Amino acid sequence: MPIESTGDVQLTKPIYELGVTGVFTKQLDIALLNNEADIAVHSLKDVPTKLADGLALVATLERGAHEDVLLLKRTTLIENNDTEGTIATSSLRRQAQWLSEYKKHKVVPIRGNVQTRLRKFYEDEQMDGVIFAKAGLDRLGLLPDDAVVLDWMLPAPAQGIVGIICRDDDSDMAEACKMINYQPSFIEGSIERQFMRTLMGGCSVPISAFATIQGNEIDFKAAVHAFNGSKSFNIHRVLMLDEWQNAGKESAGKLLALHGAADLVEEIRNKQK
pLDDT in tens, 133-142: 999 999 999 9
* CATH code of the domain in which 226 resides: 3.30.160.40
Same domain? 202 vs 76 = no
Give the span between the Cα atoms of 38 and 190, in whole angstroms. Answer: 22
Predicted confidence at residue 17, as pLDDT, reads 41
Task: State mean pLDDT over 224-253.
Answer: 97
Residue of 18 and 230 predicted with greater confidence:
230
pLDDT in tens, 177-198: 999 999 999 999 999 999 999 9
Closest CA to 231 of 258, 212, 213, 253: 258
pTM score > 0.85 for this model? Answer: yes
Is 46 catalytic? The answer is yes
Going by the DSSP 8-state scheme, the letter that residue 189 receives in this structure is H
Predicted confidence at residue 16, as pLDDT, reads 43
Q: Which of 46, 68, 128, 170 is catalytic?
A: 46
Task: State mean pLDDT over 90-104.
Answer: 95
Same domain? 179 vs 254 = yes
Same domain? 171 vs 256 = yes
Domain limits at 108?
Answer: 68-149
Give SS3 for 233.
Answer: strand
Q: What is the mean pLDDT of the chain?
A: 90
Give the CA distances from residue 19 to residues 10, 43, 111, 257, 268, in Å, rounded to whole numbers and listed in that order: 12, 20, 16, 29, 15
Phi, psi (5° rounding) for residue 136?
Answer: -65, -45
Same domain? 76 vs 179 = no
- Is 56 within the bounds of a domain? yes
- Is 1 within the bounds of a domain? no
Task: State mean pLDDT over 21-38.
Answer: 81
Same domain? 126 vs 178 = no
Predicted confidence at residue 187, as pLDDT, reads 98
- Is 90 within the bounds of a domain? yes
Going by the DSSP 8-state scheme, the letter that residue 52 receives in this structure is P
Same domain? 21 vs 81 = no
- Is 171 within the bounds of a domain? yes
pLDDT in tens, 117-150: 999 999 999 999 999 999 999 999 999 999 999 9
Closest CA to 129 of 141, 144, 139: 144
